[in-house]
Structure 1
Amino acid sequence: MQVSPDAEHTLFHCPRFEEERENVKKEIGSEIKTENLTSIMLEASEKWESIKKYMEEIIKVKESDEREGREERVGHHIPLRTLWRSGTDDERSPRYFPSTLKQVIF
């Protein structure tokens, strides 16, 4: 199985965060996808907060892995904290983050 080394894979497809995705799905009443994330987040502040909490939890887990030097990650992932830093457009290019998500977060 080919694993995509980007935030889209981590947020929407990574088996490691399947339980968290299911929790968000129950909270907001629909599955989040690249195509619908922006519109769902803009529907209601509760949905925005649920999805934001989901993303923050993933970032915490991945940063903890980095601090502890863990190598037992599922697939290949980039550090999501990179996506939240200010920087040039090259550092936040679509290869790291789908453009629809970049619009919401940045």
Structure 2
Amino acid sequence: MRDGDEQSLQAAIEVAMRRHAETTRLEEQVGRLETAIERRATIERAKGILMERHGLSDRTAFERLRTHARSRNRTVIDVASAVTEGHGLLGDSARAGE
């Protein structure tokens, strides 16, 4: 192979490697964003459930999720998931914090 061909091949390989790295980075970013959207949707569903069941405002429903999570050393998304899955969280014990 001629020197010019080797340099062209090396340059093409480097471009391909950079593009692959960028594609991988973007795919990871998309995954993180999709997860964030899913978590946000779960929290919104849980707030809606609390608003409907207990006649709460949007803000109060979120505060109840957050207060319950903090008092149990859990994340808001864990508590919201439990609410949307039908677990009886945030009953009378959460009202005490109002």
If the length of structure 1 is used for normalisation, what is the TM-score? 0.29
- Rg comparison, structure with higher value: 2
> Relative contact order: is structure 1 or structure 2 higher (C-alpha 8 Å, sep ≥ 6)?
1
**Higher percent of residues as helix:** 2
If the length of structure 2 is used for normalisation, what is the TM-score? 0.31
